[in-house]
Amino acid sequence: MNERPGDNPPAGNSAARQAFYDRIGTLSMAPLWESFHDLITPEPVTPCVPALWNYREVRPHLLESGGLISAQEAERRVLILENPALPGRASITHSLYAGLQLVLPGEVAPSHRHSQSALRLVIEGSGAYTSVNGERTLMEKGDFIITPPWSWHEHGNDTGDPVVWLDGLDIPLVRFFDASFVERYEEDSFPETRPVGDNVARYGSNMRPVGYEAVPARSPMFSYPYVRSREALERMRRTEEWDPHHGLKMEFVNPLDGGPAMTTISTFLQLLPKGFAALPYRATDGTVYTAIEGSGETVIGGETFAWSADDVFVVPAWAPHHHRAAEDAVLFSFSDRGVQRKLGLFREWKAEAPA
């Protein structure tokens, strides 16, 4: 009977195997069997770790950066929030980037556009602006603002105080696909094309202009004012039952099709009432949280992180966690859940309430 390759391998052949690996290595090949169990794991494995950035500790460094480089020179004056386990990667999770951006009074961060999708969550300041394709939106604390991919955008501050916001982008995801492009506009500002607030007026009232042709998977709204979102949570408080894992949690959506507001980043807002203690939860999407109001703590993988307004923290993928609110609290969060759902990868686990 003919023997097949691999039948009855000789015992103690580690030297022969290594010699074989060395030979095929010169051909840019490697044996799958040596790494199979690390590549295809029984459940998610991530190098990312939980972390928290206390805004009161970070803010002085952010303001100091304003004296070291101008918004014009920097193009975007941002301090990146790097996951401690991913130094030098400009990543807060495997697929997402986060940073804190500062624009001082009188400054303009010049207009450009890029492949990456971006969000802004206003942390501090009132009355500065972001312009998207020539339409300005004024920025107030808690506002969620989108820069869709390949849209001209700039930021300016005509007020007398600094403005700070949290940036969230899909930079690592776009980098993974080798699909990054960027273009600078020839002037600092893109010409104004619509009045302030036009996108909310057109698309934010469950109506759309007749004849409007939707851009697939892109919300025509790029500004979601916090005052309106907060009011929606308060209305829900009076009529809805609390979810035992999330409190009252809403997802920002594209008003035309009900899908995620962004193509690659899912965004959420949730209300945790004073004294609320969530049941443990885990999901495959690593998630970045920002406390807009209130204070509390989140237990992530057994480690407790106390947070208050303006702090940022990250929950790695598949890490068990639960929130506890010391007072009424509102959390904004973003993750790659929408992408995972489209690819059929998203999973979640919820602890059951005790009998």
Question: 322 CB contacts (<8 Å, ≥6 apart)?
Answer: 245, 277, 278, 279, 280, 281, 298, 299, 351
Q: What is the pLDDT of residue 102?
A: 98
> How would residue 327 be classed by pLDDT, with cut points 50, 70 and 90?
very high
- Tell me the pLDDT tens digit for each residue of 149-171: 999 999 999 999 999 999 999 99
Q: Which whole-number Å values give the CA distances from 149 to 82, 95, 341, in the listed order? A: 23, 16, 20
Q: Where are the alpha helices (DSSP H) in the chain?
A: 14-25, 36-39, 55-66, 71-74, 171-176, 198-203, 226-239, 337-342
pLDDT at residue 1 in the model = 46
- Residue 56 domain boundaries: 51-349
Q: Which of 51-65, 186-200, 293-307 has the lowest mean pLDDT?
A: 186-200
Residue 160 belongs to some domain of the structure: yes
Residues in the chain: 355
Q: Does residue 192 surpass a pLDDT of 90?
A: no
Would you say 245 and 322 are in contact if contact means Cβ atoms under 8 Å apart?
yes
Please tell me the predicted confidence (pLDDT) of residue 205.
Answer: 65
Give the pLDDT score at 60.
98
CATH of the domain at 221: 2.60.120.10
Please determine, for residue 201, whether its predicted confidence score (pLDDT) is greater than 90.
Answer: no
Residue 9, domain member (yes or no):
no
Tell me the HSE value of 118 on the side-chain side, using a 13 A CA sphere.
25
Pair type for strands 97-103 and 78-80: antiparallel
Backbone angles phi, psi at 191, to 5 degrees: -60, 140
Q: Are 93 and 170 in contact (CB under 8 A)?
A: no
> Contact at 8 Å (CB) between 108 and 72?
yes
Q: Look at 206 and 250; give whichever has higher pLDDT.
A: 250
Helix (H, G, I), strand (E, B) or coil at 76: coil
Beta-bridge partner residues of 92: none
What is the rounded average pLDDT of the residues 169-196?
A: 92
Cα end-to-end distance, the chain, whole Å: 63
List all residues 6 or more positions away from 257 whose beta carbon is below 8 Å from its beta carbon: 214
Kindly report the number of other CB atoms within 10 A of residue 33's CB atom: 8
What is the percent of the chain where pLDDT is above 70? 92
Percentage of the chain modeled with pLDDT above 90: 82
Section 337-349 average pLDDT: 96
Q: How many CB atoms lie within 10 A of CB 133?
A: 18
Give domain status of residue 292, yes or no. yes
Model confidence pLDDT, tens digit, residues 49-92: 999 999 999 999 999 999 999 999 999 999 999 999 999 999 99
More confident residue, 264 or 193: 264
Tell whether 246 is covered by a domain.
Answer: yes
Per-residue three-class SS string for 213-261: CCCCCCCCCCEECHHHHHHHHHHHHHHCCCECCCEEEEECECCCCCCEC
The answer to whether 288 and 50 are in contact (CB under 8 A) is no
Q: What is the mean pLDDT of residues 240-247?
A: 94
For residue 252, is pLDDT > 70? yes
Look up residue 34 and give its DSSP letter: G
- Quick one: average pLDDT of 189-210? 75
Give yes or no for residue 216 having a pLDDT over 60: no
Q: Is the pLDDT of residue 117 over 60?
A: yes
Separation of alpha carbons 56 and 117, rounded Å: 28
Looking at every residue in the chain, the average pLDDT score rounds to 92
Q: Indicate the number of domains in the chain.
A: 1
Task: With respect to residue 12, please indicate whether it lies within any of the assigned structural domains.
Answer: no
Instruction: Check residues 219 and 84 and name the one with the higher pLDDT.
Output: 84
Q: Which two tokens stand for residue 326?
A: 């010391």
Per DSSP, the three-state class of 53 is strand
Residue 134 lies in a domain: yes
Q: Does 38 map to a domain?
A: no
Domain-located, residue 41: no
Closest by alpha carbon to 45, among 290, 286, 249?
Answer: 286
pLDDT at 3 over 90: no
Confidence band of 353 (pLDDT split at 50, 70, 90): confident
